[in-house]
Structure 1
Amino acid sequence: MAVQSWVDLLKSSKKTALIHDGKRKVHYLFRDGKEMAEEYDLKTDELIFRRWRSKNPLGAQGQWEVEVGEPLAAALASSDSDGIKENCSNPVFIRKDTTSTFQWRVRNLPYPKDVFSVTVEPSERCCIIRTSNKKYYKKFSIPDLDRSELPLHDSALSSTHANNTLIISYKKPKEILSLEQELLKELKKLKGSGEGDVDCKTQ
């Protein structure tokens, strides 16, 4: 799917918007029955989370899958103290974008910075995190680039390590930046419905 066909798909989807508590929440329903839910910070326009849900072969709703933002398990665990919790010392991999980069954080990695290497594998359309001490390995894709059929470039990738957290950034290509700006203009035109703090003005 090229950039324009992804834009067209987004525009043709049924969208509902809610503005509440300083956030713009948008729900998309696509023609094939798939759903996408996004939440943006009203002040910065940064994407807080993106989740997907599709129907299973029997037509029932599947589980929400997180593409951007905190894992659902973490959110559920914090609201259900009696639930089974993950070992809090295990590495936690989450995506948390900025307006100019795709960004991932891997928490609970208490190794020196020089242990880590992060590379792009263009043929597999993914990035790979490796550690020289063989303690951590992770392969992950960038769905935004896949949907728009854009190539991955090693030069766009950078990483840093601090406070036991590995932070990986991938500079958004200009095609993605313009797509996001175009989409944001569309979203700001949507008439939100909420609890008294709705702002329907186009900024």
Structure 2
Amino acid sequence: MKRSCLIEVFDGIDSFQKRIKVQSNIIEGNSKMYRNSIWYRSLLDAEKTCLKEDKLKKIHYKFQDDKEMVEEYNVDTQVLLRRAWKVKGKLGGEGKWDVEIGDPIPNATPITDGPAADIIESKDQPILSRRNTRINLEWRIRNLPYPIETYSVTANNDQRCIIISTTNKKYYKRLQVPELDRLNLPIQQAPIQCSHSFNTLIVVYKKPQQLLDMDREWYEELSKVKPVKDVPNDCKAQ
């Protein structure tokens, strides 16, 4: 009888361990759902060129739909510093780079004359820029002198954006969050924090775990792209 009981106990432990393994596989599968996204698959399928300059790793992507994108990473922190998309010229020219994350392209000189002239923002107008850190998505809006209590920063998942408004009705802005759109993740209020200093409103959104996991995995994937010795023309412009 005792031996029978021991066998039953061990069978129970074995069954319990199997259930834990199955549950772990389910959790791991859910945490890797970004692999099924169109965005992740398009990154995998894109033609990629790598260039290393000091502490920067630059990746040029050419997608199957002929769109082009450039990313710049800090080699030490493995953080994405800039992402820009190639925009076709209005009159069939070379075109320019539309910056999604990071500072404007240094060599991108605006056209001031003719029908293709760019619209130049006034220095006194609010200027929006995007930043990316290891754990946060960040927006900085300069030339906003109002105190912090003036601003309302709310997540609107129905409109797929973060809405900034002021009580004095002098500023209104919708912030797009393409990183969440690409992975079909909700835009929530809880991860949002904001601060204000030196006439700059800073809005921070804490990255969800799916995005953190993808960032980490994708940087490892990029290590498979060997740097080139000859600098491509598209990368020279960056």
What TM-score range do you get, normalising by the shorter chain?
Answer: 0.7 to 0.9
Counterpart in the other structure of 1:90: 125
Cα deviation, residue 136, structure 1: 1.1
Superposition CA RMSD, Å: 2.7
Supply the distance in 2 between the matched residues of 1:188 and 1:152 (Cα, whole angstroms).
31
**Alignment deviations for residues 109-152 of structure 1 (CA, whole Å, 9 cap, x no partner):** 11111001110111001001111111211112100111111111
| Structure 2 letter corresponding to 1:139 | R
Supply the distance in 2 between the matched residues of 1:34 and 1:61 (Cα, whole angstroms).
14
In the alignment, structure 1 residue 33 sits paired with structure 2 residue 66:
yes
* Segments of 4+ moved more than 6 angstroms: 58-61
Supply the distance in 2 between the matched residues of 1:11 and 1:55 (Cα, whole angstroms).
24
For 1:131, which of 141, 149, 166 is the aligned residue?
Answer: 166
| Structure 2 letter corresponding to 1:17 | C
Unaligned runs of 5+ in 2: 1-32, 113-117, 231-238
Supply the distance in 1 between the matched residues of 2:149 and 2:160 (Cα, whole angstroms).
25
| Structure 2 letter corresponding to 1:183 | W
In the alignment, structure 1 residue 14 sits paired with structure 2 residue 52:
no
Cα deviation, residue 84, structure 1: 8.8
Counterpart in the other structure of 1:3: 34
What percentage of residue pairs aligned between the two structures are identical? 42
| Structure 2 letter corresponding to 1:159 | C
Supply the distance in 1 between the matched residues of 2:144 and 2:107 (Cα, whole angstroms).
21
Cα deviation, residue 48, structure 1: 1.2
Cα deviation, residue 61, structure 1: 6.2
Supply the distance in 2 between the matched residues of 1:125 and 1:7 (Cα, whole angstroms).
20
Counterpart in the other structure of 1:198: none
| Structure 1 letter corresponding to 2:84 | R
After superposition, the Cα gap between the structure-2 partners of 1:70 and 1:25, relative to the gap in structure 1 and judged at 3 Å, is same
Larger helix fraction of residues: 2
Supply the distance in 2 between the matched residues of 1:60 and 1:86 (Cα, whole angstroms).
23
Counterpart in the other structure of 2:200: 165
Supply the distance in 1 between the matched residues of 2:151 and 2:119 (Cα, whole angstroms).
31
Counterpart in the other structure of 1:140: 175
TM-score normalised by L of structure 1:
0.83
Q: 1 or 2 for the larger relative contact order (CA 8 Å, sep ≥6)?
A: 1
**Contact 1:102–1:170 (CA under 8 A) maintained in structure 2:** yes
TM-score normalised by L of structure 2:
0.72
Supply the distance in 1 between the matched residues of 2:120 and 2:109 (Cα, whole angstroms).
6
**Contact 2:96–2:108 (CA under 8 A) maintained in structure 1:** no
Supply the distance in 2 between the matched residues of 1:162 and 1:28 (Cα, whole angstroms).
37
Question: What SS does the aligned partner of 2:211 have?
Answer: helix
**Contact 2:97–2:108 (CA under 8 A) maintained in structure 1:** no
Supply the distance in 2 between the matched residues of 1:122 and 1:132 (Cα, whole angstroms).
22
Cα deviation, residue 60, structure 1: 7.3
**Contact 2:101–2:131 (CA under 8 A) maintained in structure 1:** yes
Alignment of 1:176-191 (within 5 A): 176-191=211-226
Counterpart in the other structure of 1:199: none
Alignment of 1:186-197 (within 5 A): 186-194=221-229
Question: What SS does the aligned partner of 2:48 have?
Answer: strand
For 1:67, which of 87, 100, 118 is the aligned residue?
Answer: 100
Supply the distance in 2 between the matched residues of 1:158 and 1:64 (Cα, whole angstroms).
30
Alignment of 1:95-134 (within 5 A): 95-134=130-169
**Contact 1:117–1:131 (CA under 8 A) maintained in structure 2:** yes
**Contact 1:20–1:194 (CA under 8 A) maintained in structure 2:** no
